[in-house]
Amino acid sequence: MSSGNDCQPQTLTKPAFDEREAAELVDKVFGLKISWIRSLPSYDDQNFHVRVSAEGADEYVLKITNSADSQEPDLIEVQTQAMMFLSAEGFPSATPYLTKDGNIMSLESGGTGLGSKKYMVRLLTYLPGTPVAKITTNAQILYEIGRLAASVDKVLSEKFQHPSVKSLRRGQFIWNLANVPLLDQYVYALGQNKYRAVVEQVIEQFEGKVIPKLSSFRACINHGDLNDHNILVDSCSTSLENPQYRVSGILDFSDMSYGYYVFEVAIAIMYMMIESPDPLSVGGHVLAGFESILPLTAEERGALFLLVSGRFAQSLVIAAHTALLYPENKEYLTITAKTGWKHLMTMFEVGQEAVEKKWFETAQAYTHHTPAP
């Protein structure tokens, strides 16, 4: 859900291809004939689920990147190569179908928007599964998502190499958790209310308590957006009373950047809280899974509450700002807001000490009992 490499969360850069134009693009760039096409919801790119008349894997996602990010081909190249690398390492990540010229992407103009903008186009393998947002999460899948978050960042940081990997040092990229203080430019989108007051409190505490500690956190490459719509799962049990799930897909690498391991677990906790009927209990299960791969340091644990709060603030503020620019996409943009505000307010009402106690005690219990795979 990125746009741009600076602190602009969103400018009017979203592609506006209709289904006919998208089908023509697949034919022109990839040499494939479309037999079926359907638009998919998206934040600031444009995605289409397509079926093609060809041998082998016949379902793909046509991804048309917004025009701002399309001006950074090195960044998109690295993100796509990271997806290919993870797939080769055994992770359920999409891989690109090559263009007629043998490339993983192509810069194309078109769409029904104003002006002659260019958009980076890729055709990625379609991953089966159900978004986590559509299931009732339980301790088992929350633990698995924690393991996934740690495993992805660990293997990317330890083994992934690419000449353009430096493009992941994205400075003032608004979605990097280190940049929560940049939100003060966009809080106007909230108006004057109790929500704005709590966001300003998050920003102030983040600046005072998290920013000075960043240098003590362990650095890594972050996926950066392991939310409940970007993780797909399959059921691996027939029990209705105690369903078991496995992760079947990891989507959307557009927020990849250099960050810190603790950022990834905070992001995962925040998004897993969104749909949960008992949101404050979620963190301990995700944390336990994460720490089964990468135990956090005392400094990292101490920042977790404000990092989760910071991600809530990022998601809620940027969505409100973007919805002002794209009122027609407001319903998708504000998915998180439906319960996000309530959860953020609850975290601050209950307080950091009590929330951390719940998370850490839940995680501690896993050292005596690890859920079955």
List pLDDT tens digits, range 229-243.
Answer: 999 999 987 777 788
pLDDT of residue 340: 92
What one-character DSSP code corresponds to residue 217? S
Picking from 52, 59, 57, 56, the residue whose alpha carbon sits closest to that of residue 34 is 52
pLDDT of residue 3: 46
pLDDT of residue 10: 46
Instruction: Give per-residue pLDDT as tens, 134-147.
Output: 999 999 999 999 99
Please give the helix or strand (H or E) that residue 312 lies within, else none. Answer: helix 298-325
Write the CB contacts of 370 (distance below 8 Å, at least 6 apart in sequence): 292
Q: CA angle 27-29-32, nearest 5°? A: 35
3-state SS class at 334: coil
- Indicate the pTM of the whole model: 0.92
| CA dist 81 → 96, 137, 267 (Å) | 9, 31, 23
Residue carrying the six token digits 């950066």: 224
pLDDT of residue 82: 98
Which stretches does DSSP call E strand in 230-357? Answer: 231-235, 245-250, 257-260
Within 10 angstroms of residue 339's Cβ, the number of other Cβ atoms is 15
What one-character DSSP code corresponds to residue 101? T
| CA dist 80 → 98, 121, 124, 125, 283 (Å) | 12, 12, 9, 12, 30
pLDDT of residue 252: 94
pLDDT of residue 44: 81
Tell me how far the alpha carbon of residue 93 is from its chain's centroid. Answer: 13
- Per-residue pLDDT in tens (0 to 9) along the chain, 373 residues: 554 444 454 455 889 899 999 999 999 999 999 999 999 988 789 999 999 976 655 899 999 999 989 999 999 999 999 999 999 999 999 999 999 999 999 999 876 555 578 999 999 999 999 999 999 999 999 999 999 999 999 999 999 999 999 999 999 999 999 999 999 999 999 988 889 999 999 999 999 999 999 999 999 999 999 999 999 999 987 777 788 999 999 999 999 999 999 999 999 999 999 989 899 999 999 999 999 999 999 999 999 999 999 999 999 999 899 888 877 777 777 777 889 999 999 999 999 999 999 999 999 999 866 555 4
Residue carrying the six token digits 């927020």: 255
Instruction: Give per-residue pLDDT as tens, 150-189.
Output: 999 999 999 999 999 999 999 999 999 999 999 999 999 9
For the chain, the helix, strand and coil percentages under 3-state DSSP, each to the nearest 5: 50, 15, 35
Picking from 195, 258, 249, the residue whose alpha carbon sits closest to that of residue 227 is 249
CB contact at 8 A, 96 and 105: yes
Based on its alpha-carbon atoms, the radius of gyration of the chain, rounded to whole angstroms, reads 20
Residue 327 tokens read as 């009122």
Residues 150 and 220: their CA atoms lie apart, in Å, by: 10
Q: What is the mean pLDDT of the chain?
A: 91
pLDDT of residue 5: 42
Instruction: Give per-residue pLDDT as tens, 328-347.
Output: 777 777 777 889 999 999 99
pLDDT of residue 224: 97
Catalytic residue among 225, 228, 252, 255: 225
CB contact at 8 A, 104 and 206: no
Picking from 44, 227, 11, 37, the residue whose alpha carbon sits closest to that of residue 123 is 37
pLDDT of residue 327: 78
Active site residue 225: yes
Domains in the chain with CATH codes: 19-125 (3.30.200.20), 130-368 (3.90.1200.10)
